[in-house]
Structure 1
C-alpha cells in the first residue's frame, strides 16, 4: 500500500507536516530522525512507519514493517487511514490529489513470510 499525494510543493508539505508534529499541533503522529512517521498512540506505536519519497510533484508514503511485529491487513488499514485523515485534516489546501493503493508497492518494506 502507498499513499500518493500530488502537490505543487512536496518538500514544503513534508516540512509543514514535521513542524506541526514537532510543535504538537498534530498529536497522533511522531516523526523520527530518519523522517519516518509512526502513530503516537501506545496501541499502534512502533508497529510500522510511513516513509516519504518525493518524486517531482508527488509524495509517495510507503509503509515500513517493524522488525518485531508482523504486518497485517489491519495494521495497513490503520496506518494508511489515519495518515490520510491527518493529511486531509491539516493540509487539504496543499493537496491537489490523494490516492491510496490497495496492495504493496515498491515503496513498501514488508516481509511477506
Structure 2
C-alpha cells in the first residue's frame, strides 16, 4: 500500500512537498509532529498517514495507521489524493509514480500508536 516515486532528486522532492504543505500551497495536506503527512479535511483526520523514506533514486511513502481502526478505503483515499497532488503540482521533480495495493514490508506501518 505504498506510493513509490522514481526521481533523481528524492531529497529535493521531499523538501519541496514539505515546503508546499507548510506554506499552505497544498491546502488539504498537513504534517504531524512525527513528520508524517495527513489529509486534513475533517472526515480524514486520524484515519491514516503517509511516511516518507528515501532510497537511491526513489522517494517512497508508506501508509501508517492504527490497526484498531484501519480500513483499506482510508488508504485508497489517501493514496489517490496524494498521487493526484504529486502529478498536479510537482511532476517536474519525478519520472513516474507507482502505487501498490498490498502492504509493502519495510515501507508500510499499520501500528502508529504502538498498540
2:44 is aligned to 44
1:101 is aligned to 100
Report the TM-score when normalising by structure 1.
Answer: 0.91
1:53 is aligned to 53
CA separation in 2, counterparts of 1:28 and 1:34? 18
CA separation in 2, counterparts of 1:40 and 1:105? 24
2:10 is aligned to 10
For these two proteins, the number of residue pairs brought into alignment is 110
Report the TM-score when normalising by structure 2.
Answer: 0.90
Gaps of 5+ in 1: none
List, as ranges, runs of 4+ consecutive aligned residues in structure 1 with deviation greater than 3 Å: none
Residue 86 (1) aligns with residue 95 (2) = no
CA separation in 2, counterparts of 1:29 and 1:88? 15
Gaps of 5+ in 2: none
CA separation in 1, counterparts of 2:86 and 2:19? 13
